[in-house]
Structure formats: structure tokens, C-alpha cells
């Protein structure tokens, strides 16, 4: 039997958002109010990731004073440096940055000569201890060639709620699946990218398995892939038993197992809390991931299991 690490790691699940903005960059609420709202909505942790450009003073917002006994914060930023193939500036999500992370030469949201490339600033963030994700690939117009260059990344942002509500471009699954098929051991995160100027909040999150709700424990679990992502449904177990993927979850209408290429198989029903999905359509795939879909169309996604 092969089991996803999120369900074998010790501890419990903690709900958090990894991509958020405030008035320290282009959000409309001050950091204290952003943290208060996530805490009031039942989140266990939050990463405030304002835009790390000179126009905003290269902010890594000190959210330590917003922590309580039941709610924690992780310092971070959305890093920008270098041009993608389409000429746009890279967006790299970095959660767990030190407060003194050195500024890049990124005065605004436009590439400038001589600045770090996207791969370079991503690697520097990982070296500084951060969990790094390629942000909103569909919104960015990211190509597979672009994505291949970010070799230091831990994850791909596969669902971005702000991009869903703001421009109907929330997706990163195609890029993530292609990178997985090339052998990249990446995880997948759902986020809000909340700015609070539209309904871009409380729509996508990660459920991280850790023994403590502390920045250190959460970061270690994120880097290990000990989490799943959700818009609402709960995933309680994902395991491979012979030629089956066995999934235990909150009430679902569909459970889908996916692998490389067109490999996928779904099981449909009413209020399913356990599903067995045949792997016959996924033969030869080095990885399997699962989506759980409830009757309202809300989804949860596992990280890949490597076979």
C-alpha cells in the first residue's frame, strides 16, 4: 500500500491561505484587518504576501504582532524580477522569508535591464528558507518553457481564487501536470490571492498536516508536501491498494484519479465518503493525483503520489 504523506504525517490539519495582499502593496485593507478577517473565518494561519517591488518599499510585512494562541502568521512576499517569454514580469510566491530578505532590483511591475531572473530570485528565496510556488500560471500567460526554468520551486499554484473571480483564469493544473510528467517532484497549492476589492477571498486554501500550528512546523510540512488543497471538501485519506486508488472524504458527487497524458478515471455517486477508483486508465503514469468534487461543484485536490 502507498499512502499520501498528508495522511501519514503526525499531527492534525491546519487551514491556511498562502497568498494575500494588504495596503502595504495593492490590497485595500491594512494588514491587521486582513489577519482579523481570516482569523474570524476560522483559518488557523495566514501568509501575507505583498508585492516585493520598489514602488511599495519592498515589503515583507511584520505580521508577528497579529499572532494569537489559536492563529499564526508566516512572513512572505510575492517576488517579481525578470521577464517571462511574453515579456511580463515573473510572479513568484515565497512563504517563510526572513524579514531581512534582500531587495531585488524591481522598481515596479515591469522588467528592467540587469535585474535577477525569475529562476534566480526563486532560488535565492529557497536558499533563504522559503516555500516557493510558481504563481497563477494561466493568469500570467506562463509557457511550459517558462515553468521549466524555475527549478527551485516546491509547488505550482493550481487554483487562484482572485484570478477565478477577477478574470476567469484560475488554473495551473496543465503546467503542473506537464512538469510532473517530466519528473519534477512538485506539490500543488490553492490560494485566494486576496486583495479585498472584489470577492477574491475565502475561496481556496491549503490544509497542512503538522504537529503544531507554528510557522516552523507549517513550513516544514509544506516543503514535505504534507497537505492538500480545497475549495470546501475534505480529503481524509488517499492511498494506493493494488490497482485501486482508495479515497476517503467528506460527502462527494465525484472522485477522480488523474495521471500523465489523458490518463484519468472517475467514480460518481451520491454523498460518497469512500471511493475506489480503478488505475487501469492510468497505466504507466509515474504519479497519481486525486480530485474530490461535491454536489455544489466545489473541489479538493491531493498532491501527487509517486508510484
Write down the H helix ranges in 54-158: 118-127, 137-140, 144-149
Average pLDDT of span 53-66: 98
* Confidence (pLDDT) at 294: 98
What average pLDDT does the chain have? 97
Which residue matches cell numbers 501536470? 177
> Residue 284 is placed in which grid cell?
504507466
Q: 45-48 and 264-278: which strand pairing? A: unpaired
- pLDDT at residue 1 greater than cutoff 80: no
CATH architecture of the domain with range 235-306: Sandwich (2.60)
Between the alpha carbon of residue 292 and those of residues 89, 133, 237, the distances in Å are 34, 23, 11
Average pLDDT of span 131-151: 98
Percent of the chain with pLDDT over 90: 98
* Confidence (pLDDT) at 299: 98
* Confidence (pLDDT) at 47: 98
- The domain segmentation of the chain, as residue ranges, is 2-230, 235-306
- pLDDT at residue 80 greater than cutoff 90: yes
CATH superfamily of 2-230: Metal-dependent hydrolases (3.20.20.140)
Angle at CA of residue 255, ends 252 and 259, nearest 5°: 160
Whether this prediction's pTM lies above 0.95 is answered by yes
Give the gyration radius of the chain's Cα atoms.
19
| pLDDT tens digits, 168-209 | 999 999 999 999 999 999 999 999 999 999 999 999 999 999
What CA–CA distance (Å, rounded) separates 286 from 105? 40
- pLDDT at residue 2 greater than cutoff 80: yes
Amino acid at each position: 500500500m502507498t499512502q499520501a504523506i498528508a495522511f501519514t504525517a503526525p499531527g492534525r490539519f491546519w487551514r491556511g491561505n498562502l497568498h494575500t495582499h494588504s495596503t502595504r502593496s495593492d490590497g485595500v485593507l491594512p494588514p491587521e484587518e486582513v489577519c482579523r478577517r481570516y482569523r474570524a473565518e476560522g483559518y488557523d494561519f495566514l501568509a501575507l504576501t505583498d508585492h516585493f517591488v520598489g514602488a511599495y518599499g519592498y515589503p515583507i510585512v511584520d505580521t508577528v504582532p497579529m499572532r494569537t494562541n489559536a492563529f499564526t502568521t508566516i512572513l512572505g512576499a510575492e517576488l517579481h524580477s525578470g521577464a517571462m517569454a511574453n515579456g511580463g514580469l515573473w510572479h513568484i510566491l515565497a512563504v517563510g522569508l526572513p524579514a531581512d530578505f534582500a531587495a531585488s532590483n524591481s522598481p515596479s511591475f515591469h522588467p528592467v535591464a540587469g535585474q535577477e531572473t525569475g529562476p534566480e530570485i526563486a532560488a535565492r528565496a529557497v536558499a533563504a528558507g522559503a516555500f516557493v510556488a510558481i504563481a497563477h500560471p494561466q493568469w500570467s500567460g506562463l509557457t511550459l518553457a517558462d515553468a521549466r526554468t524555475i527549478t527551485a520551486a516546491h509547488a505550482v499554484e493550481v487554483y487562484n481564487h482572485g484570478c477565478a473571480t477577477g478574470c476567469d483564469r484560475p488554473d495551473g493544473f496543465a503546467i503542473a501536470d506537464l512538469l510532473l510528467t517530466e519528473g519534477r517532484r512538485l506539490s500543488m497549492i490553492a490560494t485566494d490571492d486576496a486583495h479585498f476589492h472584489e470577492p477574491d477571498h475565502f475561496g481556496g486554501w491549503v490544509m497542512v498536516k503538522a504537529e503544531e500550528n507554528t510557522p516552523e512546523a507549517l513550513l516544514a510540512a509544506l516543503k514535505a508536501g504534507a497537505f492538500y488543497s480545497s475549495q470546501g471538501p475534505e480529503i481524509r485519506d488517499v492511498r494506493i491498494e493494488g490497482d485501486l486508488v482508495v479515497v476517503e472524504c467528506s460527502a462527494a458527487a465525484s472522485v477522480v484519479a488523474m495521471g500523465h497524458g489523458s490518463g484519468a478515471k472517475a467514480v460518481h455517486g451520491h454523498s460518497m465518503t469512500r471511493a475506489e477508483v480503478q488505475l487501469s486508465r492510468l497505466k504507466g503514469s509515474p504519479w497519481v493525483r486525486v480530485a474530490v468534487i461535491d454536489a455544489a461543484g466545489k473541489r479538493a485536490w491531493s498532491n501527487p503520489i509517486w508510484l
